[in-house]
Amino acid sequence: MSELLKNCNLCPRKCGVNRYETKGVCGATNKVKVAHYSLHKWEEPIISGDKGSGTIFFSNCNMKCIYCQNKKISLDGYGKLISNKRLGEIMLTLQAEGAHNINLVTPTHYVPQIASIIRKLKGKELKIPVVYNTSSYESVGTVMMMRNLVDIYLADLKYFDDDLAKKYSKCDNYFETATMAIDEMYRQVGKFELGDDGLLKKGLIVRVLILPGHTRDAKEIINYLYKTYKDDIFISIMNQYTPVNECEYDNLNRKVTDDEYDEVLDFAITIGVKNAFMQEGETASESFIPKFDCSKV
């Protein structure tokens, strides 16, 4: 583990920094940093169930999305440094509170530590599925480190057009990088499996967050996913984009319109998508954003 962090190339940024001495683009040191954990009831229904998903929100991020709803923790680095032992305790606490799964939110830059902890707990003290919740700006090798440790991948596919990725998230070659990572996720978990309770036991959900003014990009993403994986995965088509930070691009300072969302849904139905989640009504709200205060961490 220490060697990986002394020359950190965990993500596609490949900073190569010694995280015991400095920080890379993501802003993380060698210590795990967590901003919040809770039973979260606003994920996809087959993840949240009736009791909630046991979400752990990690601080810092290797992407730099200018519209990020969780800017306080992802870009500003708010959170509390904790030991690996404490992270394991948080997982077991969430399980004891009734969580249907352990949901690791933005875990990429802490994979060595997380893998070490789950390897010790999984199938022993930790009995519930593990969810890896990611932007998909991942290196395949890092995703491979989670093989047999992750049951469910909850992955974004943010952009088809790499120019948008550079413009809004300051990252290069996003689509190829993300789709290679998602391929590895699918290789690990395969076609989805539901339990008797209707909850996801194993599988891949790919989220498509529609950005205002970019329905064409969303349709390209959905078309790629359906052509590649057919009905073996779930596609989550999201209208919940919430403008919380004033952006330099006017389109990002508004919500997605009903017409935009309906256009994307109609496209998905037309090409034959069956296993999809859609959002109804007014979902673009800051109420989806947890109150990050480290009170329990």
- Asked whether residue 297 is domain-assigned, the answer is no
Length of the chain: 297
- Collapsing DSSP to helix, strand or coil, 225 comes out as helix
Torsion of CA 166, 61, 154, 13, to 10 degrees: 50
CATH code of the domain covering residue 159: 3.20.20.70
Which of 109-123, 180-194, 244-258 is predicted with the least confidence, judged by mean pLDDT? 244-258
C-alpha Rg value of the chain to the nearest Å? 18
The Cα 130–Cα 126 span in angstroms is 9
Both tokens of residue 225?
């996913």
pLDDT at 106 over 60: yes
Residue 52 near residue 45, CB atoms below 8 Å: no
- Asked whether residue 283 is domain-assigned, the answer is yes
pLDDT at 102 over 60: yes
CA angle 78, 83, 87 (to 5 degrees): 80
- Asked whether residue 9 is domain-assigned, the answer is no
The Cα 201–Cα 160 span in angstroms is 29
Give pLDDT tens digits for 21-37.
999 999 999 999 999 99
What is the CB neighbour count within 10 angstroms for residue 39? 16
- Asked whether residue 87 is domain-assigned, the answer is yes
- Collapsing DSSP to helix, strand or coil, 296 comes out as coil
What pLDDT score does 274 carry? 96
Domain boundaries, position 119: 34-288
H-helix segments, the chain: 2-6, 45-48, 71-74, 84-96, 111-121, 140-144, 162-169, 174-189, 215-229, 258-271
- Collapsing DSSP to helix, strand or coil, 69 comes out as coil
Q: What is the pTM of this model?
A: 0.96
Single out the residue of 228, 209, 232 nearest to residue 279, CA to CA: 209
What is the CB neighbour count within 10 angstroms for residue 63? 26
Single out the residue of 52, 34, 51 nearest to residue 43, CA to CA: 52
What confidence tier does 280 reach under pLDDT thresholds 50, 70, 90? confident
The stretch 100-109 carries a mean pLDDT of: 98
Give pLDDT tens digits for 147-200.
999 999 999 999 999 999 999 999 999 999 999 999 999 999 999 999 999 999
- Asked whether residue 22 is domain-assigned, the answer is no
- Asked whether residue 5 is domain-assigned, the answer is no
What pLDDT score does 30 carry? 97
Structural domain count of the chain: 1
Tell me which residue has tokens 């009791």. Answer: 51
- Asked whether residue 3 is domain-assigned, the answer is no
What pLDDT score does 290 carry? 77
- Asked whether residue 295 is domain-assigned, the answer is no
What pLDDT score does 283 carry? 56
pLDDT at 291 over 80: no
The stretch 221-246 carries a mean pLDDT of: 95
What pLDDT score does 109 carry? 98
Both tokens of residue 245?
């930070």
What pLDDT score does 245 carry? 81
Average pLDDT of the chain to the nearest whole number: 95
